[in-house]
Amino acid sequence: MKRLFIVITFAVVLLTACDKSNNAELVVQEEIKDSSSQGEDLKLLSDLFIELITISSSIECTDGADWKFIPYGHKACGGPIGYIAYHNKINESSFLSKVKFYTHQQEIYNKKWEIGSDCTVPLEPIRINCNQGSPEFIY
C-alpha cells in the first residue's frame, strides 16, 4: 500500500505540474474519519495534495528570490515527506494552513492504516531557482 500511495502521489504531481491556473481558493473540506475506507482516505489525501500543487504552481517562477518553501506530509516514523515551493504573493497564511492540514491528515492516515515508511530525512533545500517557469530546489 505504501508503494501505491507513493505512485499515486507522484502521478498527481506529474499530472498537475503543468496546471498554471490561478485558482488559489480551492478548498477540500473533508477529513479522514474513523468510518472511511482506506480508498476514501487515499483519495482525500490525493485531493488535498492536488490542491497544494495547484496553489503552489499558480504563479510562474521568474525570480527564485520571490519563492519560499515549507516541509509537507508526514512519514510514518516521523518527519516530512518533502518540501513544496510557493510564491510569496499567494495567500500565504491560507496556503500554510492547507499544508498543515494535509500533513495532519497524512499522520492520521498513517496511524489508522498502520502505514510503514523508511526513516530517511529529506534534504532541506537551501534556495530556489527558476527553471523554465517552475521553481527548482537547490540543495
- The average confidence (pLDDT) of the chain is 86
Provide the pLDDT for residue 120. Answer: 95
Cα angle value 95/96/98 (rounded, 5°): 65
Selection from 80, 102, 91, 76 nearest residue 12 by Cα = 102
Q: What is the pLDDT of residues 62-97, one digit of tens each?
A: 999 999 999 999 999 999 999 999 999 999 999 999
Domain limits at 80? 2-138
Residue 124 scores a pLDDT above 70: yes
Rounded to an integer, the average pLDDT of 93-110 is 98
Q: How sure is the predictor about 13, in pLDDT bands with cuts at 50, 70 and 90?
A: very low
Structural domains in the chain (count):
1
> What are the phi and psi torsion angles at 135 (to 5°)?
-70, 145
Q: What is the pLDDT of residues 31-40, one digit of tens each?
A: 999 999 999 9
User: Which stretches of the chain are assigned E, i.e. beta strand?
Assistant: 67-72, 82-87, 127-131, 134-138
Write down the pTM of the prediction: 0.80
Rounded to an integer, the average pLDDT of 110-136 is 97
